[in-house]
Chains A and B, each alone.
Chain A
Amino acid sequence: MKTTLKANAVWLGVMILGFVVIDAAEFAGLVNTFIENMLVTIGINVILATGLNLIIGFSGQFSLGHAGFMAIGAYATGIITQSIATPLGFYLSMIVGIFVAIIAALIVGIPTLRLRGDYLAIATMGAAEIIRILINNLKITNGAAGLFNIPALASWATVYTIMCVTTIVTVNFIHSRGGRAVMSVREDEIAAEAMGINTTRWKLAAFVFGAATAAIGGSLHAAYIQTIAPSDFNIMASIAILIIVVLGGVGSITGTFVAAIVLGALDTILQNFGTLRMIIYSLALILIMIFKPTGLLGNWELSFKRLNHHKEVSAHE
């Protein structure tokens, strides 16, 4: 128990240190708007990919509809902060977004989660497209033109903090009774059922959880970029998040962080390559997958608890 607390303290320290470092860099002028943009994009991608990793990597359900739930969060913020342009309005809109996304996830998940593998992927992709098409044709969402002039209510600090909080919450969930039940579904659905695990329920729990984090990511996206349009949330957007999850390692939250940072940095650096950027990006993608088929980190997790444990063991020897 002591090691747990110690590890938690270390984690908290790391998070605060990260914040202080970025803040200092910003103050010293090392981080300008450009770098800040990159960091925020990485942060939002971490939030989105962590949620998707919970669905794909931990519950083993292949969802390709993450952008649909992201859209719900983004539009909730876009619409609500038009009339309540205060931080309070922003958090309110985020909560509304989460709530709507949860309802949508239940509507989508209850029937489709009984499908398996690629069939589930294609069904969730369809569901996300339906959400996008609805947004594209509704008046309140301003149709294809999207919403712009969304008040800038999310700074990089907001994104950073919320990224930390969602990661903590997700990791905590994984390391709990519920998280283990979710993983047992991934490992062997039949055996899990035979052990009394209501697999439908836990699959749905993971799916809804993921959808809620997607809505948070979307909400932050809307408030930081200040422009949203239905085309931001198409199939390719879902795939972009999937790529982060798989590249980092399915089932590794640490991997998700690493992949989001690597891809975010790569994308930014490739901005200097003009039209070649997407060619280099796709080649990088293919090569990483061929040489690291289980992703950059596989299912390895960074754990201060284990690190500490190792240290103690070696100290005793």
Chain B
Amino acid sequence: MKKWEQTTIKLTALATIAMTLAGCSTAKSSTSQGNNPGKTIKIGVNMELSGSAAGYGNQEKQGIQLAVNQINKNGGIKVGSTKKKIQLVIRDNKTANTTAASVAAQLVNNDKVVAVVGPAATNAGTASIPNMTKAAVPSVSPSATDPGYTLQKGGTVQPYIFRACYQNNFQGSSAAKFVTKTLKAKRVAILTDNSSDYGTGLTKAFKQAYTGTVASSQTFQEGDKDFNAILTSLKHKKVDAIYAPGYYSELGLIIKQARQAGINVPIIGSDGMADAKLAKIAGNHNATNVYYTTPFSTKSGATNPTAANFLKAFQAKYQTTAPTFSALAYDSVYMIKAAIENEKSANSVKIADGLAKLKNFKGVTGTITMNKKHNPEKSIVVEKLTQGIVKQTYNVQ
């Protein structure tokens, strides 16, 4: 009987402890006052520097570094009466959501940064949100495009989460408008990058806004290299255009293989394509009749002095044409700078306030006003490639 008793006692004890432990750990839910700057303004970078999105992450890192170098060369950011230099803390989240959360925690808690640029991908971004919010430190993602990224569950805005890029609905519907009005395409085929929210989100928005017929809707995965099967099946569908939201690595190959297969209809993509490498991968003669929506045109240097300045500096520093991801990341840093200067404080909570109130900010990717949902409102253009070169830009109303 003794054994029996002891076992029961043990089991009960275990159950009780389990319940109580799970229920009540020492809760510490004081509202954070945010981080304050020291001698320098510490800005964190939570970025995909290795793993599958490393290519894009590194481009963003280049944009960030360029911006910070420029700002520091000019003495830093004016906080009230003094000028403080920026100190970057760059950390790799290896394109993993769990790591992105951990990096965010390290940046805000250990490095005590006052603002973060990144992550590049929506999912890594959303994984970081709880830790950013807990510490009351704002983050600006150059390229998290999911419409819900800046929103909480009920639809209220995430107080510390901002982005520099368009959200998918805007870009996707703009593309639909362009295809309908300018290209007058009645039948389109859609080719979606099905490995992230980016391609699928754009397709969803495009389908909602497009009034013509979608003759075919196919998907591909990041890293795919052979699209001949899909393209062959498209060939006889008699489409007027192909909408293909995705990144330049895959789109370059799609354009190349489509043209080789004799499909010469316009191919319309999104800002993930806006990269000089697109034409290199596709081959210049193939990259004709190719369009993409973008916030920033390499031609915009003519009208936008900020962009001209950026393009020149980027070319000088990295010996290559600036890709959109770098431009967006560059803007993210300057948006933080503007927020600090407007608020005359580099306290992280204040920066968040400043970012939310951002108005008519002159960025590389356009004149930006932050709306209530923390999405930047800026104009969108469509660039047309002919022989691999941007020959024409269109405005989309």
Direct contact of A and B (CB under 8 A): yes
A196 at the B interface (CB under 8 A): no
If A34-B109, A271-B103 touch, does A144 touch B194 (CB 8 Å cutoff)? yes
Choice from A143, A158, A278 contacting B94 with Cβ under 8 Å: A278
CB distance from B144 to the nearest CB of A (A): 10
Residue of B nearest to A136 (CB): B194
Q: Are B28 and A33 in contact, CB atoms less than 8 angstroms apart?
A: no
Q: Are A145 and B102 in contact, CB atoms less than 8 angstroms apart?
A: no
A119 at the B interface (CB under 8 A): no
Question: What count of chain B residues pass the 8 Å CB interface test?
Answer: 56
Q: Are B21 and A275 in contact, CB atoms less than 8 angstroms apart?
A: no
Choice from A16, A148, A156 contacting B25 with Cβ under 8 Å: A156
CB distance from A8 to the nearest CB of B (A): 6
Choice from B21, B26, B52, B126 contacting A227 with Cβ under 8 Å: B126
Can you list, as one digit per residue, whether each of A153-165 has a CB less than 8 Å from chain B (1) or not (0)?
0011110111011
Q: How far is the CA of A159 from the CA of B52 in the complex (A)?
A: 29
B134 at the A interface (CB under 8 A): yes
Q: Are B102 and A277 in contact, CB atoms less than 8 angstroms apart?
A: no
Q: Are B123 and A161 in contact, CB atoms less than 8 angstroms apart?
A: no
Choice from A19, A82, A274 contacting B21 with Cβ under 8 Å: A19
Interface residues of B in 57-103 (CB under 8 A from A): 90-92, 94, 96-99, 101-103
Q: Are A158 and B110 in contact, CB atoms less than 8 angstroms apart?
A: no
- Chain A residues positioned under 8 Å from B90 (CB to CB): 274
Q: Are B21 and A41 in contact, CB atoms less than 8 angstroms apart?
A: no
Question: What count of chain A residues pass the 8 Å CB interface test?
Answer: 54
A27 at the B interface (CB under 8 A): yes
CB distance from B259 to the nearest CB of A (A): 27
Q: Are A27 and B28 in contact, CB atoms less than 8 angstroms apart?
A: yes
Can you list, as one digit per residue, whether each of A8-34 has a CB less than 8 Å from chain B (1) or not (0)?
110010001001000100110000111
A binding-site residues for B, Cβ under 8 Å? 1, 5, 8-9, 12, 16, 19, 23, 26-27, 32-34, 36-38, 41, 82, 136-137, 143-146, 148-149, 151-152, 155-158, 160-162, 164-165, 168, 221, 225-229, 231-232, 267-268, 271-272, 274-275, 277-278
B binding-site residues for A, Cβ under 8 Å? 3, 6, 10, 13-14, 17-18, 21-26, 28, 49-52, 90-92, 94, 96-99, 101-103, 105-106, 108-110, 122-123, 126-127, 129-131, 134-135, 146, 148-149, 151-153, 194-197, 199-201
A148-B129, A162-B22 known; 4 other A-B pairs, CB under 8 Å? A38-B102, A148-B123, A226-B126, A268-B106
